[in-house]
């Protein structure tokens, strides 16, 4: 076992799945859930995501050697400040936020001299919500990015890396700013685009929607409150990504407008090739 007691703050889809994975793979002796509503926490316990629960943060983090903040990004810093009041000295803290620079800058300061903070972003999930949709296998083959700052404790980051690998994830370590730039293009902008594609549909166009529409827009069904926070937290990088995409669309529009079949074929061929190459490489460990 890696940890004696793990406390998960926010037992939703990600927090619940991580708790279930830690329990099923015997990586923690005890997994405690912390949240707002006893009824949802009791359901998470019934589903095997946690061993016990409380709505009292101070009680929940007591004697924990790992605390995982699995709330929406808009609540991570607020919860961290609350946790810091009661956390055992030397405890490791990680989060699962989809944005990293603002969070790591603030949590480094919040936990300075109190706990060992390591930022995490497991790139796994679903458009569905809550511990009712949690799965102990959610992280199998998923990419998890850990962020390192000048204040990151080496032993702590190794333990967090081992935890994520233990639940099946493929891990990378990078600076928070690099994470936000890369993930804006690979995850955040695609979400905004999927929402835009849905929003331009008419009732009669949706009657013709089939598997292509479903594949391209699945993520648009995700929690809008969660994604509003992500987009605003990583606004600078997302706006830069939207600008790049706008130029690409303008270029394709010009090609179609002038009827240049060869140029259009080449643009689509390049996209097809890159997509296939990514699919083949996905899941291979970093060398």
Which tens digits make up the pLDDT trace of 93-134? 999 999 999 999 999 999 999 999 999 999 997 777 888 899
pLDDT score, position 125: 78
pLDDT score, position 249: 97
Chain centre distance of CA 276: 24
CATH 1.10.3660.10 residue ranges of the chain are 179-281
Q: How many helices (H) and strands (E) does the chain have?
A: 13, 8
CATH 3.40.50.720 residue ranges of the chain are 3-174
φ and ψ at residue 283, rounded to 5 degrees:
95, -10
pLDDT score, position 283: 53
Which tens digits make up the pLDDT trace of 36-64? 999 999 999 999 999 999 999 999 999 99
d(CA 235, CA 227): 12
The residue count for the chain: 287
Percentage of residues in the chain with pLDDT exceeding 90? 92
The domain 3-174 having CATH identifier 3.40.50.720: the answer here is: yes
**Residue 54: beta bridge partners?**
34
Q: Buried b / exposed e across 222-244, counting CB within 10 Å, b at 16+? A: bbeebbebbbebbeebbeebbee
What does DSSP assign to residue 184?
A: I
pLDDT score, position 130: 87
CATH of 179-281, one of 1.10.3660.10, 2.160.10.10, 3.50.50.60, 3.30.1490.20: 1.10.3660.10
Stretches in the chain below the pLDDT threshold 50: 285-287
Count the Cβ atoms, other than its own, within 10 Å of residue 252. 15
Task: For helices 224-233 and 73-84, give the axis angle rounded to 10 degrees.
Answer: 80
pLDDT score, position 129: 83
pTM: 0.91
d(CA 68, CA 93): 6
Strand 143-147 with 115-123, pairing:
antiparallel
Helix (H, G, I), strand (E, B) or coil at 123: strand
| In 13-151, beta strands by DSSP E | 28-34, 52-54, 66-69, 91-95, 115-123, 143-147
CA proximity to 104, closest of 140, 49, 142, 157? 157
Strand 170-174 with 52-54, pairing:
unpaired
Tokens at 52, concatenated: 């016990």
pLDDT score, position 287: 34
């Amino acid at each position: 076992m890696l940890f004696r007691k793990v406390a998960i703050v926010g037992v939703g889809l990600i927090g619940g799945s991580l708790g279930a994975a830690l329990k099923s793979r015997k990586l923690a002796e005890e997994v405690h859930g912390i949240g707002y509503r006893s009824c949802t926490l009791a359901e998470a316990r019934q589903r095997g995501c946690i061993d016990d629960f409380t709505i009292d943060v101070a009680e929940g983090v007591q004697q924990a050697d790992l605390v995982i903040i699995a709330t929406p990004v808009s609540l991570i810093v607020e919860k961290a400040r609350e946790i810091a009041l009661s956390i055992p000295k030397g405890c490791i803290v990680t989060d699962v936020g989809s944005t990293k620079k603002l969070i790591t800058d603030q949590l480094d300061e919040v936990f300075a001299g109190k706990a060992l903070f390591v930022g995490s972003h497991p790139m796994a999930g679903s458009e569905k919500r809550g511990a009712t949709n949690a799965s102990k296998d959610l992280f199998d083959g998923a990419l998890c990015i850990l962020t390192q700052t000048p204040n990151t404790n080496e032993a702590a980051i190794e333990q967090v890396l081992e935890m994520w690998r233990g639940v099946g994830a493929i891990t990378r370590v990078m600076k928070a700013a690099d994470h936000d730039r890369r993930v804006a293009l690979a995850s955040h902008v695609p979400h905004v685009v999927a929402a835009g594609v849905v929003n331009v549909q008419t009732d009669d166009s949706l009657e013709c929607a089939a598997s292509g529409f479903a594949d391209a827009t699945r993520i648009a069904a995700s929690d809008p409150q969660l994604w509003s926070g992500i987009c605003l937290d990583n606004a600078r990088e997302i706006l830069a990504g939207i600008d790049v995409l706008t130029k690409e669309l303008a270029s394709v529009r010009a090609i179609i407008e002038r009827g240049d079949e060869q140029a259009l074929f080449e643009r689509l061929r390049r996209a097809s090739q890159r997509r296939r190459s990514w699919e083949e490489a996905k899941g291979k460990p970093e060398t």
